[in-house]
Amino acid sequence: MAADLHVHSTVSDGCLSPCELVDLAKQKGLSAIALTDHDSTEGVAEAENRGRDMGLTVIPGVEISCEADDCEYHILGYGIDLADLPLLDRLARLRESRHRRLEQIVSRLAAHGINLDLQRVREIAGSGAVGRPHVAEALIERGYADSRAQAFQRHLNRGRPGYVPREKILPREAIDLIRAAGGVAVWAHPGWQLQSAALAELVGYGLWGIEVWHPDHSPQRVRSLLDLVVPQGLHLTGGSDFHCAGAGCGLGGCTATDAALAVLQEAVRRLSKPCL
């Protein structure tokens, strides 16, 4: 058994609803998933309820895109209190800024002769956190690209006409928010970016762990990450970063061990005990 601790749903830019993700995880024989939508915890309750019915552990999670000194850091929060107002408020503001960004993306594309209907992109995104994958779907629908990958390459990647950066928050703020909401903060898919200076800085802010097992990390990279982070007493997590079938490695294609899951569960249980 294994746990997939990095999963996106239709609440952000994934293709399956929280319930469908739980059902698929069960079919695949996973012991747990963490729902880690971009800038939103709004799918977690639905996944938890379904998890209870299906006998699958669901860890509440979120993924927040951060930036410091021109470097992007994705920070995962696990075990957060879903009613924590400062976190909910900040995430809601990030989602609002995604809507403003969508308007800018659509008008930048229009200035390059690529005409999308803003309302249609909003429809594709539904009520969740709108992102470039939703614009990519609209581009495909209108024949401006054949695939998501091509839509990004031609229109949406940095340096392309439709590129508009997201509002990003400092890693320190994300880690503070997650910890204040009773959760633990994990550096997602650090790849080759994990230099000791950046790591020391995030650890100084209260980083709890590193996402070691991720589809972007080769086996050699996993080994070197383990060599770097285990001696520092950091904890280990992993997940597939699953968005949609047919893209990436599939749900459960990259996982954390059940031992790593148990350490995470114990940490969030301890943190969420009321202060006496």
| Distance in angstroms (rounded) separating the CA atoms of residues 54 and 236 | 26
Amino acid at 192: W
Residue 4 touches Zn ion, criterion: CB under 5 A:
no
Q: How far is the CB of 162 from Zn ion (least distance, A)?
A: 17
How many residues form the binding site for Fe ion (CB under 5 A)?
4
Q: How far is the CB of 261 from ligand AMP (least distance, A)?
A: 23
Contacted entry of ligand AMP, Fe ion, Zn ion, none for residue 48, CB cut-off 5 to 8 Å set by kind: none
- Strand segments, DSSP code E, in 55-116 are 57-68, 71-78
Contacting residue, 4, 13, 42, 211, with Zn ion by CB under 5 A = 13
Beta bridge partners of 65: 74
User: Containing H/E element for 23?
Assistant: helix 18-27
Contacted entry of Fe ion, Zn ion, ligand AMP, none for residue 179, CB cut-off 5 to 8 Å set by kind: none
Give the β-pairing of 184-188 and 71-78.
antiparallel
Query: Which residue, chain included where needed, has tokens 């069960």?
Result: 26
Amino acid at 190: P
The dihedrals phi and psi of 200, each to the nearest 5 degrees, come to -60, -40
Contacted entry of ligand AMP, Zn ion, Fe ion, none for residue 74, CB cut-off 5 to 8 Å set by kind: Fe ion
Contacting residue, 243, 251, 255, 260, with ligand AMP by CB under 6 A = 243
The 159-198 contact track toward ligand AMP, x by CB under 6 A, reads -------x--------------------------------
Spatial contact of 93 and 174, defined as CB atoms under 8 Å apart: no
Which residues contribute to the site for Zn ion (CB under 5 A)? 13
Which residues contribute to the site for ligand AMP (CB under 6 A)? 13, 38, 131-133, 148-149, 152, 166, 243
